[in-house]
Structure 1
Amino acid sequence: MSTPVMPPAVLQFFQASQNADADAWSSAFAEDALFHDPVGTPPLEGRAAVHDLVVSVITGFSHFFGLTPTEAYTAGASVADTWHGAAITQDHRPVNWSGISVFALDDTGRIREARAYFDRAAFQAQVDAR
Structure 2
Amino acid sequence: MPLAVLQFFRASQQGDADAWAQTFAEDGVFHDPVGTPPLIGRPAIRDFIASVLPNFQPFLGLTPLEAHTVGNQVAVSWRGAAVALDGKPVNWSGINIYELDEDGLIQDAKAYFNRAAFQAQLAN
Give the TM bin, normalised by the shorter chain: over 0.9
Of 36, 53, 56, which residue of structure 1 is paired with 2:51? 56
Using the alignment, how far apart are the partners of 1:14 and 1:104 within structure 2?
A: 15
Match of 1:36?
31
In structure 2, give the amino acid aligned to 1:58: L
The match for 1:106 is 101
Letter in 2 for 1:75: V
Deviation at 1:42, TM superposition (A): 1.1
Letter in 2 for 1:94: P
Instruction: Name structure 1 gaps, 5 residues minimum.
Output: 1-5
TM-score normalised to structure 1 length: 0.94
Q: Give the Cα–Cα distance (whole angstroms) in 2 for the partners of residues 57 and 68 of structure 1.
A: 17
SS of 1:68 mapped into structure 2: strand
Deviation, structure 1 residue 32: 0.3
**TM-fit CA distance, 1:49:** 0.7
In 2, Cα distance between equivalents of 1:33 and 1:78? 14
The equivalent residue for 1:3 is none
Root mean square deviation of aligned Cα: 0.5
CA drift of 1:23 comes to 0.8
- 1:58 and 1:72 map into 2 onto residues whose CA distance is 25
SS of the equivalent of 1:58 reads: helix
Q: Deviations over 1:43-92 (max 9, x none)?
A: 11000111011111111111100000000000000000000000000000
Q: For residue 104 of structure 1, what is the amino acid of its counterpart?
A: E
Give the number of aligned pairs.
Answer: 124
Name the SS of the counterpart of 2:33 in structure 1: coil
- Partner deviation per Cα, 1:1-57 (whole Å, 9 max, x = no partner): xxxxx0000000000000111111100000101100000111110001110111111
Q: 4+ runs of 1 displaced by more than 4 Å?
A: none
Residue 84 of structure 1 pairs with residue 75 of structure 2: no
TM-score by length of 2: 0.98
**Structure 2 match to 1:22:** 17
> 1:104, CA displacement in angstroms?
0.2
Describe the SS at the equivalent of 1:42.
coil
